[in-house]
Each structure stands twice: as C-alpha cells, then as structure tokens.
Amino acid sequence: MAVWEYIIGSALIALIKIVCFILGYLTIRLGYQLISSGVKGEFKFSASFGGSKADLASVSPGLLFVLLGVVLIGYAMWVDKAVNQTVEVGRAKMELPQGAAPVPGSSDMPAFGKSKKEIKK
C-alpha cells in the first residue's frame, strides 16, 4: 500500500507544477497582449517581507502581469516539495530466554531461501 501512496504523492506534485506553469504562462501571455495593445494605466505596487521592501510603479499594467507570471513559474519550478514514504517491515517474533541467542542452523533460527528439511540435514 505504501508504494501507491508514493506514486499518488509524486503524481500530485507533478500536477501542481504543471498547473502553476500553465497559469504562469497564461498570465505572461495576458501581460504581453496588454503591452502590445497599448493599454495604459498607472499603478503602484509595494511589498515588504522580512524587513525588505520593494516598490513597483508602472504606466503599463501588462508589466505587472508579466512579473506575476514569472514569479509564479519560478515558484512552481524551484520550490522543493518532498514526498515522504514510510515502510513497515513485518518480522516474526522469536521468544528466547534473556541472554540467549539463536544458533545458526537450529530450528529456532529463521531460514531465508531454505526449507526446514534442508536445515535439519
């Protein structure tokens, strides 16, 4: 069951990256169409993050769309998204007295690839 979870997780990460790439492309294309059609409009955009401050002022709203599309594609392609897989391995419990260890070749020792008849010989 754990293998299917890993496959589904990897597929969902790939889907997220593809969707972000397509949305970023469409946003950049919209910005290009706004620039090429000559749409004018003044805007001021400012942001502050972690003590850093950025201001963006433009006469063309198409530049904002191009910038947002590039940021979206950059986020989708370069941010690491991890898929964690846990595997539980079942093991037969061996009841041994405290301090005792199984002797190789004995019937208490699990045999890998050999039948019990081969071990007793």
Confidence of residue 54 (pLDDT cuts 50, 70, 90): confident
pLDDT of residue 26: 94
Give me the amino acid identity at 56.
L
Contact present, 64 and 43 (Cβ < 8 Å): yes
* Cα angle 54-55-57, degrees, rounded to a multiple of 5: 155
- The neighbour count for residue 1, using CB atoms within 10 Å, is 5
DSSP β-bridge partners for residue 44: 57
Q: What is the pLDDT of residues 63-101, one digit of tens each?
A: 888 988 999 898 888 877 776 666 555 665 555 555 556
Instruction: Indicate whether 105 pLDDT > 60.
Output: no
pLDDT at 89 (0 to 100): 57
Selection from 19, 14, 17, 23 nearest residue 70 by Cα: 23
Q: How many CA within 13 A on the CB side of residue 32?
A: 8
Sign of the C-alpha dihedral computed for residues 61, 63, 66 and 70 taken in this order: negative
**What pLDDT shows up at residue 70?**
92
